Chain A
Amino acid sequence: MTDRRAFGADAHRYLDGEPFGELSVEERAAADRLANLARAFADRLEPVDAALDEAVMAAVRRRGAVPVGHGAWHWVVSSHRVPVRPVWVAALAAAAVLVLWLAPRRPELSRSGAQRVAAAAAPDTVFVRFELVAPEARSVAVAGSFNGWRTDALPMVRGAAGIWSITVPLPIGEHRYEFVVDQTRWVADPTAHSQVDDGFGGRNSVIVVGPKGLVRS
């Protein structure tokens, strides 16, 4: 292994045209064969068209060229040297930050759609199954603090014996809700942890969801 490494280094030096007085007769013969093969390979190569270099450089120049002409578009695509005082750059950046910070948010997005998406992926979220026995109902949905009280966002599915159900990812914490039967009737959940005054003369169902999920009765 050591000899092969030494031969390789010396052979490379030989092929590079450097003196090689340390090669043995066999090694020098092998190096000569390699050199002959390399020369034969080089002779077989097609000669490069002298116009190729010029053609490539012309293409590069076309890509980077600015259209000749005048007007706003030409000014926009042309390069310019802009002298700017650092104080103005800082002021511009501060103004941009101020505008972004004061820009009105989209609360509905942040509190309903995005919140639901985040809840579905958040690690502090547990899946809670809601059920309501309502054999006579044509539709049942669950609406509450977790979905902006939207009556059409979480429709439940009718199962056997008229049991409507849906499984919803909910963040850990307290949630208030009711079932909406036939899109008009608000019904409390008899299995909720508790019922509290909703401030409008009705009652909201309350569940407190822990990391282990919900213990249903």
Chain B
Amino acid sequence: MNGRGIRWVVLAALMAAPGSLAAQAGSIEARLTARGLPAQLAQEVQRIASDAVAQGVPADPLADKAIEGWAKHVSSERIVSAVRQFAGRMAEAGAAVRAAGLEHPSGNVIAAAAEAMGGGLQPDQIQSVVRAAGTAEEASPALSVATSLTAQGLGVKQAVTIVVEAMQHRRPMSQLLDLPSVARSMHDQGMSPGEIGNRLLPPHGDDAGGPPGDKHDRPPGVPPGPDHPAGPLRP
């Protein structure tokens, strides 16, 4: 191949690039139509997603929401409304997460924060959880745990405090992720949400601020011994 031939190859490759950009921008629409959503609905969701991406909101959770609605045989109008509402909440959640110090939060963190706001957490409470988590990897599960505890009936403030204190006490993430299970177990044993919250709070004076995997492998607030009302954790 001579120099002219190589020039043609390079030119063809560069001409293909804008096409690839357009295809990527339309990937949400393609994904939705592949799942059987009508073209008109897919285009509408694509428009919402494109606007959301321009604001730093991830598009995939929006596509997931549309697919969920379609799978549940929800009307197109309602799907569009839910997607638009979720996009707005994610934009607000993204701002809260960035205000907490995560300059480039992942889509998972923003989606978790949006779900947390949908569960009743306020932006300042989102920021508290994110700051306590410190890293993007831990912020997402921490927000999910706070959301789940709130959904289990604990007060929002109490749920946030439990998560924030657990992270400030440098509890292992495995313990944090066990909290919804423990709370559910306590609930089934007849405890009220308030009692559950009090038990899940790290006891004052607990010097458990040691490194992860410290002296006991229990979620915060769960004392040792099989006689505890929560009962032993089942694997």
Contacts and interface: CB of A to CB of B under 8 A. Distances in A.
A150 B71 contact: yes
Interface stretch (B98-106, B121-129, B147-155): B147-155
A92 B5 CA distance: 12
Nearest to B59: A107
Given A108-B35, A208-B144, 9 more contacts: A102-B20, A149-B67, A149-B71, A172-B177, A194-B151, A195-B151, A200-B69, A209-B177, A215-B182
Contact of A212 (B30, B112, B235): B235
Size bin of chain B's contact surface: 35 or more
B184 A200 contact: no
Contacts, number: 157
Interface residues of A, number: 50
A104 interface: yes
Given A108-B31, A149-B67, A199 B82 contact: yes
Contact of B64 (A83, A95, A145): A145
B54 interface: no
10 contacts: A92-B6, A102-B24, A174-B112, A174-B147, A194-B184, A196-B118, A200-B79, A206-B151, A215-B184, A215-B233
Interface centre among A92, A151, A206, by most chain B C-beta atoms within 10 angstroms, is A206
B39 interface: no
A16 B16 CA distance: 70
Interface of B: 1-3, 6-7, 9-10, 13-14, 16-17, 20-21, 23-24, 26-28, 30-31, 34-35, 60, 63-65, 67-69, 71-72, 74, 78-79, 82, 85-86, 112, 115, 118-119, 140-141, 144-145, 147-148, 151-152, 174-185, 187-188, 233-235
A210 B185 CA distance: 15
A107 B20 contact: no
A157 B152 CA distance: 29
A70 interface: no
A208 B71 CA distance: 23
Interface of chain B, main secondary structure: helix
Given A107-B31, A214-B181, A215-B182, A88 B148 contact: no
A217 interface: yes
Interface of A: 82-85, 88, 91-92, 95-96, 98-99, 102-105, 107-108, 111, 143, 145, 148-151, 172-174, 186, 193-202, 206-217
B148 A99 contact: no
A39 B108 CA distance: 82
Contacts of B17: 95, 98-99, 102
B183 A88 contact: no
A199 B64 contact: no
Given A102-B24, A104-B24, A193-B184, A212 B14 contact: no
B174 A104 contact: no
Contacts of A174: 112, 115, 141, 144-145, 147-148
A203 to B, nearest CB: 10
Contacts of A202: 72
A215 B119 contact: no
A217 B185 contact: yes
Contacts of A92: 6, 9-10, 13
Contacts of A104: 20, 23-24, 26-27, 30
B14 A199 contact: no
